[in-house]
Amino acid sequence: MYGASLTKMDTQNQQPSVLNTLFMLPVMFVIGAVIWAVVVLLTVDDPPTESLIGPAIFIGFSVIYTIGLLLFRQLAHASQQRRQAILEFGTPTTAQITSVKQNLLVRANRQYIYTDVDVVYTDMFGHTHQTRQTMLSEQVQKMGLQTGDTVNIKYDTSDPKRLVIVEKV
């Protein structure tokens, strides 16, 4: 069980299920700020406006945080739609894995959650393409992907750099 970690995935859309939980943080911040403001207003007869700066800052950060999460969620959704379209309409072929490396940009629970898989393949026109597919480390481990493996892929003929690794051969 992964609990509230970014590595626990929603199997339907491959987005971190904790993302939905993260939307609760700004709600909690706003509730806390409102309680803070109410306490200040109730305990002080004539509260100075400076005493309400703290709750206002809390609410401001909550709004900025929520906007960031919404943008991230929208980007993740668009990426998932592109991936689904490639799986559905992409051209199948085989590829050779040239490199499997941990992506050091994102960590959750002291573990890197993404792995970069470099592949080389030849498209239906005979052109060779070398590209990188960033995948969840958990998915790479389940598939047992290693340098030198042959994999089945589907790629976008209009943009051959976009591909999805379907399975290990």
Task: Parse the chain into domains and list their residue ranges.
Answer: 18-86, 91-168
C-alpha–C-alpha distance, residues 23 and 65, integer Å: 9
Tokens representing 127 are 């052109």
pLDDT at 35: 85
Q: Is the pTM of this model over 0.85?
A: no
pLDDT at 4: 36
In tens digits, the chain (169 residues) has pLDDT values of: 333 333 334 444 444 455 566 677 777 778 888 888 888 778 877 767 777 787 888 788 888 888 888 888 888 888 889 999 999 999 999 999 999 999 998 888 888 899 999 999 999 999 999 999 999 999 999 999 999 999 999 999 999 999 999 999 9
- At the topology level, CATH places domain 91-168 in OB fold (Dihydrolipoamide Acetyltransferase, E2P) (2.40.50)
Tokens representing 165 are 């690794």
What is the number of alpha carbons within 13 Å of residue 89 lying toward its C-beta?
9
* Count of helices and strands (H, E) across the chain: 4, 5
Residue 166 CB contacts under 8 Å (≥ 6 apart), including other chains: 87, 92, 151, 152, 153, 154
pLDDT at 167: 95
pLDDT at 17: 52
